[in-house]
Amino acid sequence: MRLLLRFMGFLFAAGTTLFLVGVAVAAGLIWHFSKGLPDYSQLQNYEPPVMTRVHAADGSLLAEYAKERRLYLPIQAVPKLVINAFLAAEDKNFYEHSGIDFQGVSRAVLKLVENAIRGSDKRPQGASTITQQVAKNFLLSDLVNKENKSRLDEYIRKIKEALLAMRIERAYSKDKILELYLNEIYLGLGAYGIAAASLVYFDKSVNELTVAEAAYLAALPKAPSTLHPVKNHDRAVERRDYVIDRLLENGWIKQADAEKARKDPLIVTTRANGAHTVAGEYFAEEVRRDLLERYGEKKLYEGGLSVRTTLDPKLQAIARKTMANGLVNYDEAQGWRGAMSRLDISGDWGVKLADVKSLSDIAPWRMAVVLESDDKSARIGFQPGRELGGAVSKERQTGLISLDGVKWAKAASGAARGRTPTKVSQVLSPGDVIYADPLIGKDGKIVEGEYRLRQLPQVSGAMVAMDPRTGRVLAMVGGFSFDQSQFNRATQAYRQPGSSFKPIVYSSALDNGYTPSTVIVDAPIEIDQGQGGVWRPENYSKEKYYGPQTLRNALRLSLNTVTVRLAQDIGMPLIGEYAKRFGVYDELPNYLSYALGAGETTVLRMVTAYSMFDNGGRRVKPTLIDRIQDRYGHTIYRHDTRECRGCDAPEGWKNQPEPQLIDHREQVLDSMTAYQITSMMEGVVQAGTATVMRDVGKPIAGKTGTTNDQKDAWFIGFSPDLVVGVYVGYDKPRNLGRTATGGHLAAPIARDFMKIALADKPATPFRIPAGIKLVRVDAKTGMRAGPGDTGKTILEAFKPGTAPPDNYSVIGVADSDGRQPQAPPDADRSLFQPGTGGLY
């Protein structure tokens, strides 16, 4: 008995010793592995890389910029279904354990022992909790990404994960840990976090996900690349259904929901690029460059900025269509240059054509290859699309191009140059790679199954539409196709504006003592340029001169010699100062040729300058961005800097004075001068070089521009609420053709745009500033028009003190509030047309 007691005492002592040794060893190991653990408190201030989102003025998504495509969602915004799906897939006991799931660890250990007995080298079964995954992804990424990891390294990492997980659980709530996890995990296809993944895979917010969709997303963290919805479709469905089963097993969904979810097909909905949808690629890229310059690369791609731009999607679509049509119409008039390339159509032509680079932003144009061709028609096969996994679609679509679809295709060179084709085979041959779009019949409807031949225009150009009061860019087209060329001709192409610069010259004169009725001689002139020889500027009509002309008529007819004489009189330094004020040029050389638009500037700069004419002479700063907010919703930039007095009433409305917007912007040009030059440019539209703009049917002012040798064609024009600028020219400047003037090439594009853009707007006349006197004068001479004058007379605008002598007939004076003046009772009312501003 005593021996048994001694033996039991020995066992107890040995057990106690072993226990203490074990505790000591465990404590030592914990101490050892805890020494180098990262500081988990950094999770409190964790700011994951979040993508920047750019929106149009109506709130529609325009672009996204990110290195990691992520949208951060607080846990309160995550639906219970999505949370349960991830818990079912990853850690069903998440809300019960303290960072380590000992049941899971036990299962993993037993599996490891089983594999060791069998001699299997299978990867150990995972037992990581969501908290451990947070520790791994946020704090132990260096160990995870370490190359040449051994099995020992993996065990060490697991121990560190467990230690960190327990510390994290003590420091943070379960919801905070889950929030970090759901926003950090990579879910494939470039999506980080559930919000981005929901958009990428299903084009939905997390609140719109079905059971099947939520289960699929929850299945992805384990191995997103091996669960690709197209490449590994069957495996992806299998894993999705596993998650559905776990949801049912845990009682988080009903049997009927589970059965329906298993039957749902796994279909991924690819999201269209926002900029592509509204043809705003050039605009979006300009915004990206602006953000990069303001905040740097890290803030742009990781800062989670929310950018509200000035883009009007409707106007942008109109601008893109009218600009493209204008370029195509001009290019087709030059003739057919031949197929883009040739393709061997033997075998599966679709696979071969799919490898040819095509432009994705010129819909409804589609790339095609000619399969057969005869005198009456050609059969074409369209480029097949690609599936999400990159495989070429097996569907093959064909169509016909009849003679009606190639009638425009006159030969651009060779013996047959200029001849209209009489056979389709004269234009197309089997193997020709071309573009085509649906043929429009004479009734304006699409001809089913028939297509029209298209060719990419060599000529290019740009268009900008702006709000003249704020400088907000409403639409921007930087070329025919962003896919073809990312060079933005609206902001980056410096071209000679030609005569469209003349309003700057004339406004400089009007602001310094001249009037629209000032007379200057239109006659040959020679300028001694010293070593540069003698310069003899000519009018566009070459040897045709008109003698004495008012400034109004000189601008209307775009007379170069009058402009040069005017520039001589007022001096180029003064013109250079005004050009700098308007932002057209940074510095203008003191050469008289620059008064005719020989300097180089951009469409955006010219449109900005004309906006100042339109808004009464106020400084305008062009902008593509209305407002920028940081990831927390704080506004860090706002374009509108006007002061709002009375907008911050602390206790609501108590019959105090109404809020007022105070505009502190600089007055660049006298408001009366601005109206005078506007009135003169209305004359350009009504009876000058831009008469095509009369088709708009609304009050329009503007000026054309054509450079030497017809290398560039310009038109800048405006209504009271919209300014539009267009230029057309080759990227490598060359002659556009004898008749390719601003009035014939650029103005029709602006007309087509403004006609649609202003279709539902009232015909509002230009506002006449207080003090302007409207005097009836002879349209040709600018002299007083007497009661018995039978010639053409106009209402001319004069500033106080510059009005004609008393023997002139003063028709009216603008009211102090800018309203149209009323004609005196004895005036000829047929001559008094409010808003015509002295037009014929």
Identify the three-state secondary structure at position 175: helix
Q: Name the nearest CA neighbour of 614 among 666, 675, 668, 669.
A: 675
C-alpha 514/C-alpha 562 separation (Å) is 13
What DSSP designation does 70 have? E
- Return the closest-CA partner of residue 386 out of 356, 418, 426: 356
Q: State how far the Cα of 752 lies from the Cα of 255, in Å rounded to an integer.
A: 60
Residue 438 in tokens: 């649906």
Residue type, 149: K
Q: Name the DSSP letter for residue 538.
A: -
Active-site entry in 90, 161, 179, 450: 90
Separation between Cα atoms, residue 282 and residue 294, nearest integer Å: 19
Q: List CB contacts of 457: < 8 A, sequence separation 6 or more.
A: 327, 328, 330, 331, 480
Question: CA 259, CA 237: separation in Å to the nearest integer?
Answer: 14
User: How distant, in Å, are the alpha carbons of 173, 197, 424 from that of 439?
Assistant: 64, 40, 15
Check if 90 is active-site.
yes
Supply the DSSP symbol for 592: G
Question: E strand or H helix at 357, and its extent?
Answer: none
Beta strands in 38-115 (DSSP E): 52-55, 61-65, 69-70
Alpha helices in 250-312, H assignment, sequence order: 255-263, 274-277, 281-302
Instruction: Tell me the C-alpha distance between 185 and 218, whole Å.
Output: 10
Nearest Cα neighbor of 72 from 632, 723, 539 is 632
Active site residue 499: yes
Q: How many CB atoms lie within 10 A of CB 362?
A: 22
Look at the block and give the residue holding tokens 């006991």.
93
Closest by CA to 354, choosing from 366, 371, 372, is 366
Non-local (6+) Cβ contacts of 302 within 8 A are: 49, 50, 66, 67, 68
What secondary structure does DSSP assign to 660-706, as a single string?
A: EEE----B-S-HHHHHHHHHHHHHHHHHSTTGGGGGG-S--EEEEEE
Q: Quick one: 179 exposed, middle or buried, by C-beta within 10 A (0-12, 13-18, 19+)? A: buried
Annotated catalytic residue, options 425, 481, 499, 593: 499
The catalytic residues are: 90, 499
